Amino acid sequence: MQSLFDSWTPPLATISMLLVTAVIYARGFRRLHRQMPVRFPNWRLTAFMAGIATLLVAIASPLEEFDDQLLQVHMTQHLILMLIAPTLLLAGAPTIVFVRAMPPGLAKLLLGPAMRSRVVCRLFAWLTEPIVCWLAFAAAFWIWHLPGFFQLALRSERWHVVEHGCFFVTALMFWYPVIQPWPSVARWPRWSMIPYLLLADGQNTILAALFMFSDRLIYPFYATVPRVAGFTPLGDQIVAGAIMWVPGSLFYLVPGALIMFRMLAPRDLAPVRRENLRPNLAGQVPSLPHL
């Protein structure tokens, strides 16, 4: 195990990119927090920075050295990329914050034509349609957990990066309708997010059960690597299944429960203040606040 730590080389390009992203976000958030402190409280900044931190742990820490030695570490990476990091980053409402971080003239020059484009608006509306988000997430989940594709990613660093990219991008799509980062327009009723999350938890439970109750290795690659911390290949697979089943399920069930409780709670009859939520294109994409 010590030799794996010693052989780890920090991915400076990845670390630099994530840190620059954090700095840009902080710049935009500071401006929006001064203008709209209610809409952009400090917890959004904390959530986004926590999301950056979890990405650093998943893809830019010594954890990366163990993912091809222990399946349980690899599954922990997947949980971070598909459940933890995307939810934290989206909670920070990053789109509008990054726009606000840009100089106003540059933002209008670069983003103005895209925001006025019907093609771009319709593409965005399609990519954030809940059924599209769910299917993309499920496709990435199952394709990259098939033995052939999973072991391809273990043997090839390039395919490993592609695997992580697919997980992360489709996870951002999946969690977008659930979190609804501002500005956002809900296309499905809020209650629909409960079965949306339960179905996702169902597929996670199926794969976790396969790991835990299978009497053979699903990924034979792990039988060919040196043993770490005394885990046998089959024991490692069982632990990986438990990690997916318990913490993984909580990330689906807790948000579903919160949505249900909020729907059942007495509603505040006070009028809701709307801040620059003028929709365009028949309510598909909200306009950005004044730059």
Q: Which two tokens stand for residue 54?
A: 């979890």
**Does some domain include residue 61?**
yes
User: What confidence tens digit (pLDDT) does each residue in 162-174 have?
Assistant: 999 999 999 999 9
Residue 48 has pLDDT above 60, yes or no: yes
Check residue 284 and give its pLDDT. 44
Give the whole-angstrom CA distance, residue 93 versus residue 35: 15
Most confident listed range (106-110, 119-123, 179-183, 213-217)? 213-217
Percent of the chain with pLDDT over 90: 68
List, in sequence order, the alpha helices (H) in 128-232.
130-143, 147-155, 157-179, 193-213
**Does some domain include residue 32?**
yes
**Does some domain include residue 272?**
no
Residue 38 has pLDDT above 70, yes or no: yes
Domain count, the chain: 1
Residue 276 has pLDDT above 60, yes or no: no
Whether the Cβ atoms of residue 159 and residue 152 lie closer than 8 Å to each other:
yes
**Does some domain include residue 291?**
no
Return phi, psi of residue 9, to 5°.
-115, 120
Check residue 103 and give its pLDDT. 86
Give the whole-angstrom CA distance, residue 16 versus residue 59: 12
Check residue 5 and give its pLDDT. 57
Residue 67 has pLDDT above 90, yes or no: no
The model's pTM: 0.86
Which single residue is written with the structure tokens 């992203």?
21
**Does some domain include residue 64?**
yes
Write the CB contacts of 251 (distance below 8 Å, at least 6 apart in sequence): 79, 83, 84, 87
Check residue 3 and give its pLDDT. 58
Check residue 277 and give its pLDDT. 43
User: What confidence tens digit (pLDDT) does each residue in 93-146 have?
Assistant: 999 999 999 888 887 887 878 878 889 889 988 999 999 999 999 999 999 999
Check residue 121 and give its pLDDT. 87
Burial 114-151 (b: 16+ CB within 10 A, else e): ebeeeeebeebbeebbbeebbebbeebbeebbeeebbb
Which single residue is written with the structure tokens 């060919």?
224
**Does some domain include residue 189?**
yes
Tell me the residue range of the domain where 210 lies: 2-267+277-286
